[in-house]
Amino acid sequence: MRETMISTETVSDKKYDLKSLSKAQLVQLCDELGIEKFRSKQIFQWLYQKGAQSFDEMTNLSKDLRERLASVAFIRNISLAQKQVSKDGTTKFLFNLFDNRQVEAVLIPEFFPDGVADRLTVCVSSQVGCVFGCAFCATGKMGFFRNLTPGEIVDQITTINTYCLEIHGKKITNVVYMGMGEPLHNYQSVIHSTDILSDKLGIELSQKRITVSTVGLAKQIKQIAEDEHQFNLAISLHAPSDEKRDKIMPINSSMNLASLKEALQYYYTKTSKSVTFEYLLFDEFNDCDEDAKNLATISKWLPSKVNIIMYNNVLGVELQRAREDRLNKFMRALTKHNVRATVRRSRGDDIDAGCGQLAIREGQPQGKTIAK
């Protein structure tokens, strides 16, 4: 059966947003226009490998072919509005979208001792705002505006990839879907974007180097397993009991830990893949011995590792980063319970680029982000 094309309602019903199409849909569109299949590969390459922003740049396509394409489709690009570099090298990119919305993405570089770039990880946004309203998250406080298209997701990454090639002399090494928005709430676009990223005619990033994070949308977790996607899955857990999770993550009232457990065990049965539990450590909220014991129990639902993340405080949020002595005690308790856990230190907190800090203040002039 043919895939349903995503047509745009914003330009005309005869026109397609080329970067909203999956590769298969692009082939289908070309087929319907009587354009040979190999041309669709060239178009794909122009869009995602060569960064073409218009049909005119696709110089190996004839003028007639470009005109035929332009009569039914358009290319929508995002543009870089602002770039901020942290003292630790973390770089935050603010992008303008076609409808005057904005999103942020973050480059987190790790360096060898001699200063040469080792890992270049991009944290990408998947939505403008977010509907889930987690208590600790600046994005959640914005409310939800809209989903990003696959092209808007990929464009963030390709822009940062070009920057990495210029500044660090190498392409990005990893992508994490942990920026603004809940990726699995924009399932189809996120899946299309991971396919584009890993395509050899795109930037050819292995799916093993892509991590999609979720607050625990059970149905979509099962869907990933059904569809046999190879990217990694991370769970934003942040509290180890329903009682505590209810207090900071409203999603838990409809999808509690029991439903998360069921979905993850289904995921593991189907994929044999382990997951990562992300756990922001909040002072005197989720950092006591009892919490460590409960976290240990959850981590044994399936093969997993745990990332303990040191929270970057957000203006107006009561929850605070755990103190060092409490962190150390918590880590010792996890070790006692045989949990594989790593501490992730804050990166980019001087530019509000850390976990939970990404947000655009609506009504502000372009380029403004919420001040700490």
Contact residue for ligand SF4 among 139, 211, 220, 369 (CB under 6 A): 139
**Contact flag: residue 215 with ligand SF4 (CB under 6 A):** yes
Of 55-63, 93-101, 134-142, 272-280, the segment contacting ligand SF4 by CB under 6 A is 134-142
- We find the least distance from the C-beta atom of residue 155 to ligand SF4, in angstroms, to be 20
- Supply the minimum distance, in Å, between the C-beta of residue 126 and ligand SF4: 9
Contact set for ligand SF4, span 179-198 (CB under 6 A): 180-182
Q: Which residues contact 265 (CB under 8 A, 6 or more apart)?
A: 301, 302
Q: Considering beta carbons, is residue 202 or 356 the nearer one to ligand SF4?
A: 356
Q: Give the Cα-Cα-Cα angle 108, 98, 210 (nearest 5 degrees).
A: 30
How does 67-86 read in b/e, with b if 16+ C-beta sit within 10 Å?
Answer: ebbeeebbbbbbeebeebeb
For residue 38, with 0-12 CB atoms within 10 Å meaning exposed, 13-18 middle and 19 or more buried, which class applies?
A: exposed
| Binding residue (CB under 6 A) for ligand SF4 from 130, 172, 203, 235 | 130
- CA atoms of 267 and 269, how far apart (whole Å): 6
Residue 269 beta carbon to ligand SF4: minimum distance, rounded to whole angstroms: 26
Give the nearer residue to ligand SF4 in terms of CB position, either 45 or 188: 188
Binding mask 78-97 for ligand SF4 (x = CB under 6 A): --------------------
Sign (positive or negative) of CA dihedral 69, 73, 74, 78: negative
- The DSSP secondary-structure symbol of 52 reads -
Only one of the segments 126-134, 169-177, 261-269, 330-338 lies at the binding site for ligand SF4 (rule: CB under 6 A); that segment is 126-134
Scanning 53-61, 129-137, 204-212, 302-310 for contacts with ligand SF4 by CB under 6 A, the matching segment is 129-137
Considering the rule CB under 6 A, would residue 142 count as an interface residue with ligand SF4?
A: no
The structure tokens listed for 145 are 């505006």
Judged by CB, which is closer to ligand SF4: 19, or 245? 245
Binding string, residues 233-252; x marks residues near ligand SF4 by CB under 6 A? ---x----------------
For 37, counting Cβ atoms within 10 Å of its Cβ (0-12 exposed, 13-18 middle, 19+ buried), the class is exposed
Tokens linked to 144? 């939800």
User: What are the residue numbers of the active site?
Assistant: 104, 355
Phi, psi for residue 263 in degrees, rounded to 5: -65, -40
The residue from 43, 106, 137, 360 that contacts ligand SF4 (CB under 6 A) is: 137
Q: Say which residues have a Cβ less than 8 Å from residue 116's Cβ, sequence separation at least 6.
A: none
The residue number whose beta carbon is nearest to ligand SF4 equals 140
Burial category of 164 from C-beta neighbours within 10 Å (exposed 0-12, middle 13-18, buried 19 and up): buried
CB of 236 to ligand SF4, least distance (A): 6
Q: Which residues bind ligand SF4 (CB under 6 A)?
A: 130, 132-134, 137, 139-140, 180-182, 215, 236
